[in-house]
A and B are shown apart, each in its own frame.
Chain A
Amino acid sequence: MAYREFQDKRTPVYTIVGGFMYDTSPDLGRALKRWTRRYIGENYAYFRLYETAVGGKTYRSAIYTKMPLCIFQFADEAVGIRYSPVVDDQIPSVSVWAGDDGCHFEYTAEISHVMKSKDAPHLGSWQRESVYRPRVSSLPELSVVRAGKWWQIVRRMVEAELADRHDIIETKRVQEALSMAGAFYDRMFDVVNGVHLETVYPDRPEPYGGAIFNHPSFEACRVASLCRLSNTNHTKCDRIARRLVFDETLSAELHEIGPYRIWHNCFDTLRGDSALYGCTTYGTGYSGYPGGMATLVRKLLEYGHSTGADDLFPRLKQGADWLLLVQREDGSFPFTVPTFAELGNPLEKSITGPESRALGGAAEAARALIWAFRVFDERAYLSAAEKAVQAINPAPPFYAFRGYGDLRDASEYETDASSGIQLTNANLELYEVTHRREYLETATILGYYVLTWHIWWRAPGIDPYGFIDPMAESFCPHVSPWATSLASELYSRLYAATDDSFWQKAAEFAFARAVSLQNPVTGGISEAYNLKMLDEITIMGGESAMTTWGLIDAGCAILNNRREPFACSEERAVSGKPVVAADVQVGALVVLVRARVPVIKWRRVLRRTKGWVRALVKTVFCIRGVSHLRSRSGRRVAPVPQSPAGGQERVLSFTAPGGCKEGMSFTASVGGTTMVLRLAALAHDRRIRKVYLPVLDFGSEIAAVEPVGKIGETITACAVRFIDGRRLRIRFLHGTTGLGVAAIQASGRRLMCDVSVKAGWQYGGECYQVLSLTTDEG
């Protein structure tokens, strides 16, 4: 039978369909229609199955389900109906409605949906339109569970799902993931502009397309997260934090109103030069994507507090005061407070004003105010934070989440997961400072709400299981490692606050899922992975720096609960006898595409001559051919003739082909067992294709090279054996190229270490690596 139905004569006070419907309205059919408001996110997908109205009922494709559970919360009990969103390779439909005979949940394969599709996951016109009708002759039975409250049903289901998973992720794996994430930020760091890029290609050196270069609030998240890792370059973080706070192009003081300060939500290069400046797109919000004021203030206060950078505080206080200024009388916060000139992007959310309510934004503002209270010890911040949270906290048992606006691509009043995460965190933080149990109780129940946004179903050929798909409609179906990481961190915090191991297991499970998408070579993760129907899950685009700070925070929270350090346990302390530096010659090799020969002037001259002269010159001298790119050629940075003695430094520079001004320099300095190598090129040198750093010439033939340490696909240590029986161990400690090298090639006496993908040289001028050379006793 391709039709199943559940009916109950009672009227629910709250209805959930996991991941797309959370409603307190008695008119369930109307509630189901309401979330179908269209916004730009609608076609951030390969396909969309539109809802179908039949006989006054609205049917939605079950592909949009996250937790496959419909829960009716009645006054006396909650009833959960479990269904399968995918049957074989077909997708049935679901509908919820209320009538004179009570409430209904319908699960059917007898409904057709209009389906629009295209070949790319990004915004763009639909290319095809068809009708989708599942070919299912029989649907599985609905299973019904009952409990007192809806969250008990959610918990029971998640417990069953995680029951057979023991020790979900090892400490070492978490530490490795954090190390790789830190190394990814080394790769993404733009030396020229002094900030991280927001997105890079995983395997290509060109700049990632798109106007939004970086978000200051996410940069604040990055420095706050990175400073927790033991192997972080703290000078870099400090410079970024200071730039965010003191760069006058990034924030503005509201002179007309008072000593308030507000920050832009983007760095950009739209003015045509390479220098970054602050600008704002999509309105000025408080949190979420593309980031906002409250997130920036909170994270920089956190950073300043943990590092002792007190001089950041006066300006950040102006930011916290701005949050007090824009808080509404009832404690909530409006959707946006337009404060900067819009550059002309019609995607900006236009609804604002006294009637708009940002739920996720208000939660994030409350978190920033709690941090302001911690740092400045002024009661007004805490009172404002409590007022905000009380205004937006759903009162039990009504958990109707609307009006979030936390994610750019969501409708203004679309239900989402990430705002729920912010709100849960706000409640937890209020519990931490006030010790009032009601905040913890609300946070715990909100935690169950977040659990309903994980995809708890499987399908043949794809594995979205366990990831969060954070929006009810826009953008979905897709999986979001960022939202999954944020949820993991939240569950860890819930575990720390409640000591309930259920949350620990959930945190580790979510983290394990998010980390499974981490690129083993670069350490990066894309922000989204779209479902292409049930055929495959594809990467949205480049690797995002946003996802990575989420991952670091989640990993640190897990390790914190385990009382483990936030770095690889096998912290690569160098042991063994140092190799005599004089025995090894150290160099680098850069392969580049030769520059165009400057024939432009000749062309100008030729243009002014008679036609037959031009033809003759072109024929005889083949001028036209000269302007084309020549084939690739290697240009080796000549090795230092003899490695410098310990503690000394020798500099070698060479001039690029064509006699251009561009140049490169290579330096090597040795101290004890470690060697610091620096290879510098001019910024944005597009000719560079391959980078080998270092190239080691040992003076005797290499018999074999074997990687002996790996994190992901990155080689962190290797053993070298020579024909004469000597053995060496090379450890790649850290550097802009990350944890190590992508590949090692041995040729005669020479060992070449490939760091091309990791160098990311198109953005910055310097590539450095620290390594150790010791004799290998083993």
Chain B
Amino acid sequence: MVRLLVAVECDYAGYEPFTANRCTYCHSESMDSVRRALDLVLSECNGRAAFLIHTSPYIRRNWNDVFYTSPDYLSMWNEVVAQGGELGLHLHEEEPDGSCLYYGYPEHLEKVVSDHVRLLEEAGLRAACESTGYFGMNEWLVPILEAHEILVNLDNIGTFTRFTGRNWAEAPSRPYFADRVDVARKGDSRVLMIPLGMTDCCRGEDGLMIGRNSLRYLKSLWREIRSASSGDSACYIWVEAHRIRKDERRLVSLLRWLKSEGAELATPTEVYDSYAAARAG
């Protein structure tokens, strides 16, 4: 059985540090996108989804870290949790003009993670998972996530990632506990890497990414994932909040089809608990 996690990445249109060397943020537009994604996913998934909340130097400097401080957003995150969903951090640690990125600086990452865990805690919320900008999870983050009990990461997309230069091509396509020397292989850390829904030949953008593939393709891919898996497994489907207007119909159709096919939707904590129990046993 393959359990499916719906991961909604709450970035915003206009975040283009490397492609346009600038970032722009429109509050009303972003609010609207997140609201729409939230309504859709919660209704179709019965609340069982993970919302990954954006932070970046740009949004902290210019918009007071709006995703973690604005009452509007915080009320939405409370709604997610109230309906059975979970929250995650989504760290985009790069300069707005793309001149450099900060994923290799543990003191900085530690500060960002602890600050945002604290902000969520002040709002009565908890981060259960983490996804790094441009799928850039690295070895520096492992002890930091462990220290903050954020024990699920969603960066394994099965391919080389541009900008952050991570190579997930040889990483397992089933959940695994990350190694401290090379997070792309199994190890002894407590951080569980849940992979994107993919097969050996369909990885990265060819995986379960709702905005990058047709509905027919996604259905056939899911069948392949299910038939290829033996025993318990889990993966996630990637949804981008800022593209929700374009992807809405496809996402609704897919989620309904998945339910009709008997797919079991899960939260990051549920997947983690089962793997942690298996490891302990």
Given contacts A256-B108, A262-B100, contact A350 B93 (CB under 8 A): no
Q: Determine if B104 and A341 form an interchain contact, defined as CB atoms under 8 angstroms apart.
A: no
Chain A residue numbers with a CB within 8 Å of B100 are: 252, 254, 262, 339-340
Q: Does A283 count as interface, using CB distance less than 8 angstroms?
A: yes
The residue on B at minimum CB distance from A345 is B165
| Alpha-carbon distance A569/B140, docked complex (angstroms) | 56
The residue on B at minimum CB distance from A282 is B165
Q: Determine if A356 and B181 form an interchain contact, defined as CB atoms under 8 angstroms apart.
A: yes
Question: Within the complex, which residue of A325, A344, A348, A355 is in contact with B180, where a contact is CB–CB below 8 Å?
Answer: A355
Q: Please give the distance in Å from B105's CB to the nearest CB on chain A.
A: 6
Q: Determine if A342 and B162 form an interchain contact, defined as CB atoms under 8 angstroms apart.
A: yes
Chain A residue numbers with a CB within 8 Å of B165 are: 283, 338, 341-342, 345, 348, 350
Q: Does A55 count as interface, using CB distance less than 8 angstroms?
A: no
Q: Please give the distance in Å from B93's CB to the nearest CB on chain A.
A: 7
Given contacts A254-B100, A262-B100, contact A354 B163 (CB under 8 A): no
| Alpha-carbon distance A355/B142, docked complex (angstroms) | 11
Interface string of B87-118 (1 = CB under 8 A from A): 00000011100111111111110000000000
Interface size on B, residues (CB 8 A): 34
| Alpha-carbon distance A339/B181, docked complex (angstroms) | 19
Q: Does B184 count as interface, using CB distance less than 8 angstroms?
A: yes
Q: Does B69 count as interface, using CB distance less than 8 angstroms?
A: no
Q: Does A336 count as interface, using CB distance less than 8 angstroms?
A: yes
| Alpha-carbon distance A611/B107, docked complex (angstroms) | 73
Chain A residue numbers with a CB within 8 Å of B146 are: none
Q: Determine if B104 and A346 form an interchain contact, defined as CB atoms under 8 angstroms apart.
A: no
The residue on A at minimum CB distance from B60 is A256
Chain A residue numbers with a CB within 8 Å of B149 are: none
| Alpha-carbon distance A283/B138, docked complex (angstroms) | 13
The residue on A at minimum CB distance from B179 is A355
Given contacts A252-B100, A256-B108, contact A352 B162 (CB under 8 A): no
Within 8 A of A (CB), among B138-184: 138-140, 142-143, 160, 162-167, 169, 180-184
Q: Determine if A338 and B181 form an interchain contact, defined as CB atoms under 8 angstroms apart.
A: no
Chain B residue numbers with a CB within 8 Å of A354 are: 106, 139-140, 143, 180
Given contacts A350-B167, A356-B181, contact A338 B138 (CB under 8 A): yes
Chain B residue numbers with a CB within 8 Å of A256 are: 57, 93, 95, 102, 108
Q: Does A207 count as interface, using CB distance less than 8 angstroms?
A: no
Chain A residue numbers with a CB within 8 Å of B99 are: 252
Q: Determine if B164 and A346 form an interchain contact, defined as CB atoms under 8 angstroms apart.
A: no
Given contacts A342-B165, A350-B167, contact A336 B104 (CB under 8 A): yes
The residue on A at minimum CB distance from B56 is A256
Q: Please give the distance in Å from B67's CB to the nearest CB on chain A.
A: 18
Most chain B CB inside 10 Å of its own CB: which residue of A334, A339, A356: A339
Within 8 A of B (CB), among A308-327: 325-326
Within 8 A of A (CB), among B180-194: 180-184
Chain A residue numbers with a CB within 8 Å of B142 are: 353
Q: Determine if B98 and A341 form an interchain contact, defined as CB atoms under 8 angstroms apart.
A: yes
Most chain A CB inside 10 Å of its own CB: which residue of B99, B160, B163, B164: B99
| Alpha-carbon distance A255/B140, docked complex (angstroms) | 20
Chain B residue numbers with a CB within 8 Å of A433 are: none
Given contacts A336-B104, A338-B164, A344-B160, contact A252 B95 (CB under 8 A): yes
Given contacts A256-B95, A344-B162, contact A337 B105 (CB under 8 A): yes
| Alpha-carbon distance A578/B105, docked complex (angstroms) | 66
Question: Within the complex, which residue of A257, A344, A355 is in contact with B181, where a contact is CB–CB below 8 Å?
Answer: A355
Chain B residue numbers with a CB within 8 Å of A341 are: 18, 94, 98, 101, 162-165
Q: Does A351 count as interface, using CB distance less than 8 angstroms?
A: yes
Q: Determine if B163 and A350 form an interchain contact, defined as CB atoms under 8 angstroms apart.
A: no
Q: Please give the distance in Å from A283's CB to the nearest CB on chain B.
A: 7
Chain A residue numbers with a CB within 8 Å of B166 are: 350
Q: Determine if B102 and A257 form an interchain contact, defined as CB atoms under 8 angstroms apart.
A: yes
- Helix, strand, loop or mixed for chain B's interface? loop
Q: Determine if A342 and B163 form an interchain contact, defined as CB atoms under 8 angstroms apart.
A: yes
The residue on A at minimum CB distance from B160 is A346
Q: Please give the distance in Å from A265's CB to the nearest CB on chain B.
A: 13
- Helix, strand, loop or mixed for chain A's interface? loop
| Alpha-carbon distance A292/B277, docked complex (angstroms) | 45
Q: Determine if A350 and B18 form an interchain contact, defined as CB atoms under 8 angstroms apart.
A: no
Q: Please give the distance in Å from A348's CB to the nearest CB on chain B.
A: 5
Q: Determine if A353 and B180 form an interchain contact, defined as CB atoms under 8 angstroms apart.
A: yes
Q: Please give the distance in Å from B195's CB to the nearest CB on chain A.
A: 17
Question: Within the complex, which residue of A338, A344, A348 is in contact with B101, where a contact is CB–CB below 8 Å?
Answer: A338
Most chain B CB inside 10 Å of its own CB: which residue of A337, A340, A341: A341
| Alpha-carbon distance A336/B180, docked complex (angstroms) | 15
Q: Please give the distance in Å from B274's CB to the nearest CB on chain A.
A: 27
Chain A residue numbers with a CB within 8 Å of B143 are: 354
Chain B residue numbers with a CB within 8 Å of A352 are: 104, 138-140
| Alpha-carbon distance A255/B60, docked complex (angstroms) | 13
Q: Determine if A353 and B184 form an interchain contact, defined as CB atoms under 8 angstroms apart.
A: no
Chain B residue numbers with a CB within 8 Å of A351 are: 139, 181-182
| Alpha-carbon distance A344/B107, docked complex (angstroms) | 26
Q: Determine if A255 and B139 form an interchain contact, defined as CB atoms under 8 angstroms apart.
A: no
Question: Within the complex, which residue of A254, A343, A350 is in contact with B102, where a contact is CB–CB below 8 Å?
Answer: A254
Interface string of B116-146 (1 = CB under 8 A from A): 0000000000000000000000111011000
Chain A residue numbers with a CB within 8 Å of B95 are: 252, 255-256
| Alpha-carbon distance A334/B93, docked complex (angstroms) | 20
Interface string of A133-175 (1 = CB under 8 A from B): 0000000000000000000000000000000000000000000
Question: Within the complex, which residue of B98, B101, B160, B181 is in contact with A353, where a contact is CB–CB below 8 Å?
Answer: B181
Chain B residue numbers with a CB within 8 Å of A252 are: 95, 99-100
Interface string of B50-88 (1 = CB under 8 A from A): 000000010000000000000000000000000000000
| Alpha-carbon distance A262/B104, docked complex (angstroms) | 13
Chain B residue numbers with a CB within 8 Å of A340 are: 100-101
Q: Determine if A353 and B140 form an interchain contact, defined as CB atoms under 8 angstroms apart.
A: yes
Chain B residue numbers with a CB within 8 Å of A255 are: 57, 95
Chain A residue numbers with a CB within 8 Å of B167 are: 346, 348, 350
The residue on B at minimum CB distance from A344 is B162
Given contacts A339-B101, A340-B100, A355-B181, contact A346 B138 (CB under 8 A): no
Question: Within the complex, which residue of B103, B106, B140, B184 is in contact with A350, where a contact is CB–CB below 8 Å?
Answer: B184
Q: Determine if B18 and A339 form an interchain contact, defined as CB atoms under 8 angstroms apart.
A: no
| Alpha-carbon distance A553/B237, docked complex (angstroms) | 56
Q: Please give the distance in Å from A294's CB to the nearest CB on chain B.
A: 15
Chain B residue numbers with a CB within 8 Å of A262 are: 100
Chain B residue numbers with a CB within 8 Å of A353 are: 138-140, 142, 180-183
Q: Please give the distance in Å from A321's CB to the nearest CB on chain B.
A: 13
| Alpha-carbon distance A345/B18, docked complex (angstroms) | 15
| Alpha-carbon distance A341/B17, docked complex (angstroms) | 10
| Alpha-carbon distance A339/B18, docked complex (angstroms) | 13
Q: Determine if A337 and B104 form an interchain contact, defined as CB atoms under 8 angstroms apart.
A: yes
Chain B residue numbers with a CB within 8 Å of A257 are: 102, 105, 107-108
| Alpha-carbon distance A324/B74, docked complex (angstroms) | 39
| Alpha-carbon distance A350/B162, docked complex (angstroms) | 12
The residue on B at minimum CB distance from A281 is B165
Interface string of B1-41 (1 = CB under 8 A from A): 00000000000000000100000000000000000000000
Q: Please give the distance in Å from A329's CB to the nearest CB on chain B.
A: 11
| Alpha-carbon distance A338/B164, docked complex (angstroms) | 8
Q: Determine if A355 and B103 form an interchain contact, defined as CB atoms under 8 angstroms apart.
A: no
| Alpha-carbon distance A348/B102, docked complex (angstroms) | 17
Chain A residue numbers with a CB within 8 Å of B93 are: 256
The residue on A at minimum CB distance from B108 is A257
Interface string of A246-281 (1 = CB under 8 A from B): 000000101111000010000000000000000000
11 contacts between A and B (CB under 8 A): A254-B105, A257-B102, A338-B101, A338-B104, A342-B163, A342-B164, A344-B160, A344-B162, A346-B160, A353-B180, A354-B140
Given contacts A337-B104, A351-B139, 20 further A-B contacts (CB under 8 A): A254-B102, A254-B105, A255-B95, A256-B93, A256-B95, A256-B102, A257-B108, A326-B105, A338-B103, A339-B101, A339-B102, A340-B100, A341-B163, A348-B167, A352-B104, A352-B138, A352-B140, A353-B181, A355-B139, A356-B181
Please give me the 4 A-B residue pairs with the lowest Cβ-Cβ distance, nearest first.
A353-B139, A342-B165, A337-B104, A252-B99
